[in-house]
């Protein structure tokens, strides 16, 4: 079965990303629906008919060490697999996954062979094995100082521990044609061991492996957080056949031109044009617009938006990966967000110091003919402290951030967060609450009082699911007003409600709705009531063009009685946070939203954001373009958003921030997640990032300065290798302990809470 979702534009993908590859083995038919490096989705027909095949596949693929995530959806005959890869092995691992598909349904799990050429016993086992050998060598070397342990045993242990170092050094020379840090390490090991000093190389290798293990485990955990971004799209669709029959199919099977039916409360699965019906559609997750919009025949609707009220028939124009929402997700996948491995700063510094260290060591040896002094110089590479302390600092800071309700996914994100000079905020749900609230009820002078206007409006709107109706009823409840009995009522989607209450005809809705039944704003204002009435009418005429608030009109028996104003209010903390970022941190703040120009500028005015930093009416692709333009100017850009429409912008920002209650795709795309859904915790995260940068700079100083001083002694008067080892490893230990300071920090509020819980004074 060829699925519409397979029709991906192949010209934008690498050659190996086949979008409709058919399995040739007669055992299992499959298709490659979508593939990017590190992730592939297969369509496997047997999944839908063979109940045993799915758990078998799940068990088998999970058992492969380099597979990080497996997600199976039997109803859609789909399996998505995420895996660790390198540029060299990605094709080989893809091929191995396809072989497993062929054989999994007829072989016991124990008989499925794992690709041993790329992973033997899994990353974790490799890390443990790499660390065990140096630990054994170090233990034997220490014990040999006080016990009669044969030196041959200690030498053998050191030799075995040095084999991985030698292998990496040789690979760097043979494959990359360059010297790396392992080359320096290997030379230092050989020279010190040849002098009979076995403790020095053993300690050096142990500390190196500890740093590498911490770094690699952090990287692997970050990779495991990658999820199936496409899960946020609708999975099924109702399609009307030529004979009038309505059938439910997978959303990926909808074809261009199909008539798709969307019922109340359902998500629209494709982009298209309405051919029958009308509906109130919630587009907030796609466009950021807080209020549902009314759509009727001939108007465009988009996948991932929600039909709040009404029922529509639409003609599919864009399906699968061609929809606007899927294009947003595609931008995410193309952006370099998944490479969150903590950068190995030590390796970069080492690359610049290798040749000077070798030249200096060779010069000392030529002058003194003393291999011990040459080995001392190679030992004093001041890299060990950095390799150990840097990842430890990051991990300690990430743990510290979680105490503040902030999840930071990687050391790279923490580093970028400390460097941010431009912050871009989505408006709806980020700077604002994303929920409608009634703020005032205004009544015409000389007519019904405001309390009666609210009472009648609440009675007409009761039990309706429209967000404004819910907000009006909640506002009335807070005012202690109970709804009256509705004798009869009729709701017009996108317009308003007409109800009979206490024998009176009550109309609640938009000005367009009231005008359609003969109630005119201009007629009401031309009457001879009071001067204040004319002033109120003038105010209302200009209200929506100058304010972020919107209006609902109320009429009784054909006469306009007043208005109810509502808005999507700012978060309580927004103004203070923006002011702190601008004034104390010197950060330039932008607003980037899909909402209208006048609402965006009104919010910007409230928050003190200049007009040139406000970008409104922006769809996801436009948001991504603006972020790219800012980064192209040399800025370090942070973006904060919580919806599907923000995912592309989040992906292209240097550091991305979302909320714990945001959309799944926004949470999984973001580098920083504010679990308490409060912007204040973001400023705390920035403070933690800046403090972490200070600790890193301290650790570099702790690692470099003592070794640099010892290096000066080694090059002049000479220094014993054991003394060099003490200076070298002592500075590394000091840097490592300093790196743990964020973990030792105790927040005052946490201590108070603990005292309250225990009852201690």
When pLDDT is cut at 50, 70 and 90, the band that residue 753 belongs to is very low
CA-nearest of 697, 17, 38, 626 to 339 is 38
Percent pLDDT > 90 in the chain is: 17
CA-nearest of 463, 185, 229 to 329 is 229
pLDDT at 105 over 50: yes
SS3 of 410, please?
coil
Number of continuous H segments (helices) and E segments (strands) in the chain: 27, 24
Which DSSP helix (H) or strand (E) runs through 501? strand 496-501
Query: How open is the CA angle 211-216-221, to the nearest 5 degrees?
Result: 130
For the ranges 84-98, 253-267, 686-700, the one whose mean pLDDT is highest: 253-267
- Distance, in Å, from the CA atom of 519 to the CA atom of 528, rounded to the nearest integer, reads 17
When pLDDT is cut at 50, 70 and 90, the band that residue 452 belongs to is very high
pLDDT at 149 over 50: yes
Q: How far apart are the first and last CA of the chain?
A: 70
Which position has the higher pLDDT, 721 or 151? 151
pLDDT at 345 over 80: no
Which DSSP helix (H) or strand (E) runs through 220? helix 199-224
pLDDT value, residue 508: 95
Provide the sign of the torsion angle of the four alpha carbons 726, 731, 736, 741, taken in this order: positive
Q: What is the pLDDT of residues 78-89, one digit of tens each?
A: 888 888 877 667
- DSSP-assigned beta bridge partners for residue 279: 295, 310
Which position has the higher pLDDT, 607 or 594? 607
pLDDT value, residue 388: 66
Tokens at 120, concatenated: 């033997």
- Distance, in Å, from the CA atom of 233 to the CA atom of 221, rounded to the nearest integer, reads 26
Q: How many CB atoms are closer than 10 A to CB 684?
A: 18
- Distance, in Å, from the CA atom of 232 to the CA atom of 500, rounded to the nearest integer, reads 42
Q: What is the pLDDT of residues 118-134, one digit of tens each?
A: 333 345 555 556 678 88
The predicted model gives 100-128 an average pLDDT of: 49
- DSSP-assigned beta bridge partners for residue 491: 497
Mean pLDDT across the chain:
75
For the ranges 341-350, 460-469, 497-506, the one whose mean pLDDT is highest: 497-506
E strand segments, 98-137: none
Q: What share of the chain is helix, strand, coil (3-state, %, to 5)?
A: 50, 20, 30
- Distance, in Å, from the CA atom of 189 to the CA atom of 194, rounded to the nearest integer, reads 8
- DSSP-assigned beta bridge partners for residue 315: 259, 273
Tokens at 65, concatenated: 């060490």
- Structural domains in the chain? 4-111 (3.30.1360), 234-322 (2.70.150.10), 406-433+571-686 (3.40.50.1000), 437-567 (3.40.1110.10)
């Amino acid at each position: 079965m060829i699925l519409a979702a397979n029709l991906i534009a192949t010209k934008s993908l690498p050659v190996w990303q086949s979008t409709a590859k058919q399995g040739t083995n007669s055992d299992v038919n499959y298709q490659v629906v979508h593939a990017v490096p590190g992730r592939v989705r297969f369509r496997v027909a047997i999944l839908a008919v063979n109940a045993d095949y799915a758990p078998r596949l799940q068990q088998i693929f999970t058992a492969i060490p380099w597979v990080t995530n497996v997600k199976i959806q039997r109803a859609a005959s789909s399996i998505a697999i995420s895996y660790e890869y390198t540029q060299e092995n990605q094709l080989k691992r893809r091929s191995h996954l396809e072989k497993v598909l062929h054989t999994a349904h007829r072989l016991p799990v124990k008989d499925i062979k794992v690709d041993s050429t790329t992973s033997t016993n899994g990353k974790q086992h490799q890390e443990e094995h790499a660390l065990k050998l140096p630990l054994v060598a170090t233990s034997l070397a220490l014990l040999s100082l006080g016990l009669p342990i044969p030196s041959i045993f200690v030498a053998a242990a050191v030799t075995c521990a040095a084999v991985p170092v030698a292998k990496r050094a040789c690979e760097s020379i043979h494959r990359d044609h360059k010297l790396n840090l392992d080359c320096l390490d290997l030379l230092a090991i050989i020279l010190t061991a040849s002098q009979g000093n076995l403790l020095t190389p053993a300690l050096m290798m142990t500390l190196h492996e500890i740093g590498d293990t911490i770094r690699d485990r952090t990287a692997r955990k970050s990779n495991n957080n990658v999820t199936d971004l496409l899960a946020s799209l609708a999975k099924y669709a109702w399609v009307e056949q030529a004979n009038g029959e309505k059938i439910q199919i997978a959303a990926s099977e909808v074809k261009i031109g199909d008539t798709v039916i969307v019922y109340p409360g359902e998500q629209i699965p494709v982009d298209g044009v309405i051919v029958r019906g009308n509906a109130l559609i919630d587009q907030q997750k796609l466009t950021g617009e807080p209020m549902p919009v009314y759509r009727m025949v001939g108007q465009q609707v988009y996948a991932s938006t929600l039909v709040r009220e009404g029922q529509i028939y639409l003609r599919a124009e864009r399906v699968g990966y061609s929809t606007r929402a899927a294009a947003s997700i595609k931008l995410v996948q193309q952006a370099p967000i998944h490479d969150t491995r903590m950068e190995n700063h030590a390796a970069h510094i080492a690359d610049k110091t290798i040749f000077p260290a070798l030249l200096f060591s060779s010069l000392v040896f030529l002058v003194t003919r003393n291999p011990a002094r040459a080995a001392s110089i190679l030992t004093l590479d001041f890299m060990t402290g950095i390799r150990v302390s840097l990842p430890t600092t990051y991990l300690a800071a990430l743990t510290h951030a979680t105490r503040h309700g902030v999840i930071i996914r990687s050391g790279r994100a923490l580093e970028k967060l400390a460097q941010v000079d431009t912050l871009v905020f989505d408006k709806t749900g980020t700077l604002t609450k994303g929920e409608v609230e009634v703020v005032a009820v205004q009544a015409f002078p000389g007519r019904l009082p405001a309390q009666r206007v609210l009472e009648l409006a609440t009675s007409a709107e009761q039990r309706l699911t429209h967000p404004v109706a819910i907000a009006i009823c909640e506002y009335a409840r807070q005012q202690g007003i109970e709804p009256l009995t509705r004798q009869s009522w009729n709701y017009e989607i996108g317009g308003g409600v007409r109800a009979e209450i206490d024998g009176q005809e009550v109309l609640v809705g938009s000005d367009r709705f009231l005008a359609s039944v003969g109630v005119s704003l201009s007629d009401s204002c031309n009457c001879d009531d009071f001067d204040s009435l004319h002033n109120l009418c003038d105010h209302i005429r200009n209200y929506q063009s100058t304010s972020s608030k919107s209006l609902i009109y109320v009429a009784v028996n054909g006469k306009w009685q007043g208005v109810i104003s509502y808005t999507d209010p700012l978060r309580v903390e927004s103004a203070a946070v923006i002011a702190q970022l601008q004034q104390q941190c010197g950060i330039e703040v932008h607003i980037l939203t899909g909402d209208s120009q006048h609402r965006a500028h009104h919010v910007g005015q409230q928050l003190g954001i200049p007009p040139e930093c406000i970008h409104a009416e922006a769809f996801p692709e436009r948001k991504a373009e603006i972020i790219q333009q800012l980064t192209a100017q040399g800025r370090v850009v942070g973006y904060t958003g919580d919806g599907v429409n923000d995912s592309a912008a989040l992906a292209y920002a240097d550091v991305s921030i979302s909320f714990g209650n945001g959309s799944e795709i926004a949470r999984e795309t973001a580098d920083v997640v504010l679990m308490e859904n409060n912007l204040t915790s973001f400023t705390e995260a920035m403070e933690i990032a800046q403090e972490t940068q200070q600790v890193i700079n301290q650790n570099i100083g702790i690692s470099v300065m003592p070794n640099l001083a010892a290096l000066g002694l080694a090059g002049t008067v000479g220094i014993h290798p054991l003394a060099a080892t003490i200076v070298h490893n002592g500075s590394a230990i000091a840097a490592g302990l300093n790196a743990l300071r964020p973990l030792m920090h105790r927040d005052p509020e946490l201590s108070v809470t603990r005292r309250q819980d225990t009852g201690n004074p």
